[in-house]
Amino acid sequence: MQFTLCPNRPFTRFTLIFFAVFFLIVSCSEPAQQTENTAASQEASNIQTVSASEPKAETPAPEGTNISDALAASETKVADAATILARKQVPILCYHQIRNWTNRDSKSAKDYIVPEETFRAQLKMLYDSGYQTILPDQLYAYLTTGAPLPPKPIMLTFDDTDLDQFTVAAPTMQQYGFKGVFFIMTVSLGRPRYMTRAQVKELADAGHVIGSHTWDHQNVKKLKGQDWVTQIDKPTEQLKAITGKEIKYFAYPFGLWSPEVIPELKKRGFTAAFQLSTKRDPEEPLFTIRRTIASGYWSPGTLHNTMLERFK
């Protein structure tokens, strides 16, 4: 394009000079603006890259999870008591001593003493029948949210800290890939024929769950005042120190409970509690979960039939 200047029109010459300077400024500023935009984009990209590369918080292991907080965080609605009671019950077996009978064992005591070969035969039957063990966190999720369970779930629980639970039960369970729940009576730790602290920790480290069973097997219906500290608070802290894990589950000594003790357990942070075979509380089914004692008299077939009859 050609511009013709008129000497008699100074305004036109000034205008031309103005536009020339303007175009020069614009042409110089465009690369700078492009550089600024590129730098801003790169900074945003860097921020995104750093954020993406930062490790996400891992989901805690079931044994370390506070179930109530997890459910609240995920805004999952917890089922009411009626819904929980309507769900099919999971068979839960309760074992005490696993040893061969002696002449000193009374007829009634043999219900609580399962000979070693009988125990092994019972677990083999469960494995051969397709049962898979579950742990309390799984049971809680199933009862409160309807979370899925294996097709044939079962829970194995052990009360009173007997040494044979460590020397006989745990290795037998390991053979079949089973896990269990051990309710510990802390007064017995380290005594003859009972587990040591190190053995309890070994069970916890192997993936079994450790629960509370009071200090010295007192009937919780009779606890008052300072008794709760002695029987519940201190044993719970001791087990937590031994295992390095939260103690969230409780088993009532003798299977005895009352509606009045449930608020005390809740105040102490327990998630659920296990009784024996009496009727569940209509308002607090999570704190009256049923179990059945696996009798030393039962053959594998009798055990299986009893499970089907008592847990519906």
Kindly report the CATH number assigned to the domain that includes residue 205.
3.20.20.370
* Whether residue 215 is found in the same domain as residue 267: yes
CA distances for 247 relative to 4, 136, 270, 289, angstroms: 95, 11, 7, 17
Strands 209-212, 153-159: pairing is unpaired
* Domain annotation covers residue 173: yes
* Whether residue 115 is found in the same domain as residue 259: yes
* Whether residue 225 is found in the same domain as residue 142: yes
Contact assessment for residue 283 and residue 81, using Cβ atoms and an 8 Å cutoff: yes
Beta-ladder partners of 197: none
Transcribe 188-247 into DSSP letters. Answer: GTTSTTB--HHHHHHHHHTT-EEEE-TTT---GGG--TTHHIIIIIHHHHHHHHHHSS--
* Whether residue 22 is found in the same domain as residue 101: no
Q: Give CA–CA dist 306/309, Å, rounded.
A: 5
* Domain annotation covers residue 57: no
Q: Provide the residue range defining the domain that includes 37.
A: 12-48
Eight-class DSSP state of 162: B
Strands 249-251, 292-293: pairing is unpaired
* Whether residue 17 is found in the same domain as residue 91: no
* Domain annotation covers residue 277: yes
Q: What would the two tokens of residue 306 be?
A: 């009893």
* Domain annotation covers residue 60: no
Count up the domains in the chain and report the number: 2
- State the Cα torsion 252-254-259-261 to the nearest 10°: -50
Give the gyration radius of the chain's Cα atoms: 34
User: What are the phi and psi torsion angles at 182 (to 5°)?
Assistant: -110, 115
* Domain annotation covers residue 4: no
* Whether residue 16 is found in the same domain as residue 105: no
* Whether residue 230 is found in the same domain as residue 124: yes
CA distances for 135 relative to 10, 40, 54, 90, 300, angstroms: 96, 52, 33, 11, 22
* Whether residue 81 is found in the same domain as residue 217: yes
* Whether residue 112 is found in the same domain as residue 217: yes
Q: Give CA–CA dist 268/95, Å, rounded.
A: 26
Q: Residue 77 has what pLDDT? A: 85
* Domain annotation covers residue 36: yes
* Whether residue 201 is found in the same domain as residue 285: yes
* Domain annotation covers residue 101: yes
Q: Residue 76 has what pLDDT? A: 72
* Domain annotation covers residue 19: yes
Give pLDDT < 70 ranges for the chain: 1-75
Q: Residue 22 has what pLDDT? A: 43
From the list 239, 252, 120, the residue with the least C-alpha distance to 178 is 120
* Whether residue 36 is found in the same domain as residue 121: no
* Whether residue 21 is found in the same domain as residue 143: no
